[in-house]
Amino acid sequence: MMGALLDEATEILRSRGGRMTSQRKRILESLELLGSHPSADEIFAFVSQSDPTLNLSTVYRTLRWLEQEGLISARHFHFDEDRRTDRFDAASPIDHHHFICTECKSVIEFDNRLIGEVKNQFSRQTNCWVQSVSVVLYGLCPNCQK
Amino acid sequence: MMGALLDEATEILRSRGGRMTSQRKRILESLELLGSHPSADEIFAFVSQSDPTLNLSTVYRTLRWLEQEGLISARHFHFDEDRRTDRFDAASPIDHHHFICTECKSVIEFDNRLIGEVKNQFSRQTNCWVQSVSVVLYGLCPNCQK
DNA sequence: AAATTATTGCAAATCATTTGCAATAAAAGT
DNA sequence: ACTTTTATTGCAAATGATTTGCAATAATTT
How far apart (Å, rounded) are the C-alpha atoms in residues A99 and B129? 10
Q: Please, what is the Cα angle at A36 between A48 and A23, to 5 degrees?
A: 30
B138·A132 Cβ contact <8 A:
yes
**What is the domain partition of chain B in residue ranges?**
1-92, 94-146
Beta bridge partners, A110, equal A97
Does residue B146 sit in helix, strand or coil? coil
Q: What is the pLDDT of residue B78?
A: 66
Q: Rg of chain B over CA atoms, in angstroms?
A: 17
Contact partners, residue B48, CB within 8 Å, separation at least 6: B54
- Amino acid B36: pLDDT: 74
**Alpha-carbon distance B136 to B109, whole Å?**
9
Task: Give yes or no for CB of B146 within 7 Å of strand D.
Answer: no
Q: What is the pLDDT along chain A (146 residues), one digit of tens a residue?
A: 557 889 999 999 999 999 999 999 999 999 999 977 899 999 999 999 999 999 999 999 999 999 999 899 888 876 546 678 899 988 766 668 999 888 887 889 999 999 999 999 999 999 999 988 989 998 999 999 98
B-chain residues within 8 Å CB-CB of A145? 129
Q: Separation of CA A14 and C1' C6 in angstroms?
A: 12
Cβ-based interface (< 8 Å): residues of A facing B: 74-76, 78, 83-84, 86, 99, 101-102, 108, 110, 112, 114-115, 117-119, 121-122, 125-142, 145
Burial of A15 (0-12, 13-18, 19+ CB in 10 A): exposed
Q: What is the pLDDT of residue A2?
A: 54
Coil vs helix vs strand at A52:
coil
Domain A1-93, CATH 1.10.10.10 — does that match?
A: yes
User: Stated in angstroms, how far is A40 CA from D15 C1'?
Assistant: 18
Nearest to B122 among A112, A125, A130 (CB): A112
Task: Return the pLDDT at A70.
Answer: 87
Profile chain B (146 residues) by mean pLDDT over runs of 10 residues: 80 91 95 88 96 97 93 77 82 78 85 96 97 90 92
Yes or no: say if B126 and A133 are a contact pair by the CB < 8 Å rule: no
pLDDT at A79: 58
- Residue A126's pLDDT is 97
Contacts of A83 in chain B (CB under 8 A): 74, 86
Beta bridge partners of B134: A136
What local confidence, expressed as pLDDT, does residue A13 receive?
93
Q: Which CATH number describes the domain made up of B94-146?
A: 3.30.1490.190
Q: For residue B12, what pLDDT is reported? A: 93
Residues of B within 8 A of A78 (CB-CB) are: 74-76
Nucleotides of chain D touched by protein CB (<7 A): 7-13, 16-21, 26-28
CATH class of B1-92: mainly alpha
Q: What is the pLDDT of residue B55?
A: 97
